[in-house]
Amino acid sequence: MHDKTLTELATALAAGEFSSRELTESLLARIQRFDGELNSFITVTGDEALAAADAADSTRARGEAGPLNGLPLALKDIFCTQGVRTSCGSRMLDNFVSPYNATLVEKLATAGTVCLGKTNMDEFAMGSSNENSYYGPVKNPWDLSAVPGGSSGGSAAAVAASLVPAALGTDTGGSVRQPAAFCGITGLKPTYGRVSRYGMVAYASSLDQAGPMARTAEDCALLLGAIAGHDPRDSTSVARGVPNYRAELDASLSGLKIGLPKEYFGDGLDPAVATAVREAIAVYESLGASVREVSLPHTELAIPAYYVIAPAEASSNLSRFDGVRFGHRCENPTDLIDLYKRSRAEGFGEEVKRRILIGTHTLSEGFFDAYYKKAQQVRRLIRQDFLDAFEEVDVLMGPAAPTPAFDLGANKDPVSMYLQDIYTIAINLAGIPGISVPAGFANDRPIGLQVLGPHFAEQHLLNVAHQFQQVTDWHRCRPAFAGENA
């Protein structure tokens, strides 16, 4: 049963083929068996999961089951879960048992889903390889010497290894789409404001957005419907109706206008990735879509702008971790400054400190205009590139990442690591939705096709991705690791 998609599991549960408890027990056993090597979970919540599964089975017995009732999933360890450690991949929060639930967690619980545990991640969502976790790196189930991508690497790896049929991630600069691409699953970053950020530990508030990660676009549609919507506790969440994201999945793509940003096919793109993406686009042409080249002229400025805005917001967002009310506190502080400085130096890892230092520096007196204000101006230009492109075409397509998953330890240099996010970061700056869809392999490592749409075009993106998955099998491929013969 672990190889079924979320949608298939929903059907099987409804048909009584097995209970949610049986499904949960089977997946917990797989986690037990395989995750020691994969390291995709930080915390497995077996007892809570079984209790939730039993509750879901009772709900179903009463005839009150909704579409997600009894479905197992995992949560990136960035979402606050009441009574369960919420570590954010950091020593700082290693001892933090959240006293409240994130809105997204509440919504999923109300829908009757069963949370199997909290998945590994780059510390405070800062990273593209999942090597920046206090709990150690996650391995890519397709190749244990490769990274799963980041920062939602644990969620991606757990789904790819069929430890769980779906997981929730967050995406600040590509952290859902890039690991989805590296692990051969489907991952959606919704429009900024579509999903509540309340209870999601903030990295960069104006960029962060939670999204579903699953095998198929159809599964992502099912999950997005459960988590999207206005939250009175989040000022930036949008008061806008939630459509039925599954309603348009089967719509024809005939007449679809696809734009290929020429900047997404330039130097630095691995030829194997380019080939896979072009083949995927040919599939769309066969489905009746037309393709034209477009330009997003400010593309190369996205990473520079991001590495001003995101660290600036992060430096401020992470100031609350001061060893006073929660989180790590150093031993025997001599005075207040010592308490702050040592608690924070001990609690945060290297990449987090690096970004806090960058953000603190660029916001400080004398630098603000040259960095922060400038980056925000460039951010407007970048958004305008997309708005202009969507005047001409319905969706944009390109690679989700310039290469397939790279080897663990291969990218030691922060700048070259940052450049990995060249195709995903601008999307967060513009606030538009994007989805990564499995589209082939290079050296047995998955490749992701990225599809982008205008603000609030999730329904259309899911339709475009789903139609691709009706005529291709990339999303059905499973790694040998943790497979039937493992």
Residue numbers annotated as active site: 76, 151, 175
Residue 193 binds another protein (CB under 8 A): yes
Interface with another protein in residues 419-448 (CB under 8 A): 428-432
Residue 88 binds another protein (CB under 8 A): yes
Backbone angles phi, psi at 381, to 5 degrees: -65, -40
State the minimum distance, in angstroms, from the CB of residue 125 to another protein: 12
Residue 249 binds another protein (CB under 8 A): no
Residue 190 binds another protein (CB under 8 A): no
Residue closer to another protein (CB basis): 159 or 375: 375
Residue closer to another protein (CB basis): 67 or 297: 297
Residue 292 binds another protein (CB under 8 A): no
The residue within the footprint of another protein, chosen from 34, 41, 134, 192 (CB under 8 A), is 192
State the minimum distance, in angstroms, from the CB of residue 114 to another protein: 22
State the minimum distance, in angstroms, from the CB of residue 88 to another protein: 7
State the minimum distance, in angstroms, from the CB of residue 452 to another protein: 13
The span from the CA of 165 to the CA of 173, in Å, is 24
The residue within the footprint of another protein, chosen from 18, 100, 265, 441 (CB under 8 A), is 100
The residue within the footprint of another protein, chosen from 376, 410, 477, 478 (CB under 8 A), is 376
State the minimum distance, in angstroms, from the CB of residue 358 to another protein: 6
Interface with another protein in residues 221-240 (CB under 8 A): 232-236, 238-239
Contacts of 325 (CB under 8 A, 6+ apart): none
The residue within the footprint of another protein, chosen from 16, 415, 484, 485 (CB under 8 A), is 415
Interface with another protein in residues 295-334 (CB under 8 A): 298, 300-301, 303-305, 307-308, 312-313, 315-316, 318-327, 329, 333-334
Binding segment (CB under 8 A) for another protein, from list 51-59, 145-153, 216-224, 347-355 = 347-355
Residue closer to another protein (CB basis): 218 or 313: 313
The residue within the footprint of another protein, chosen from 379, 460, 466, 475 (CB under 8 A), is 379
Residue closer to another protein (CB basis): 31 or 88: 88
Residue closer to another protein (CB basis): 96 or 481: 96
Binding segment (CB under 8 A) for another protein, from list 20-28, 35-43, 178-186, 201-209 = 201-209
What are residue 257's DSSP bridge partners? Answer: 290
The residue within the footprint of another protein, chosen from 37, 99, 443, 476 (CB under 8 A), is 99
Binding segment (CB under 8 A) for another protein, from list 111-119, 142-150, 172-180, 376-384 = 376-384
Interface with another protein in residues 393-412 (CB under 8 A): none
Backbone angles phi, psi at 256, to 5 degrees: -60, 130
The span from the CA of 55 to the CA of 243, in Å, is 28
The residue within the footprint of another protein, chosen from 147, 195, 201, 294 (CB under 8 A), is 201
For residue 237, how far is the Cα from the chain centroid? 18
The residue within the footprint of another protein, chosen from 371, 406, 468, 481 (CB under 8 A), is 371
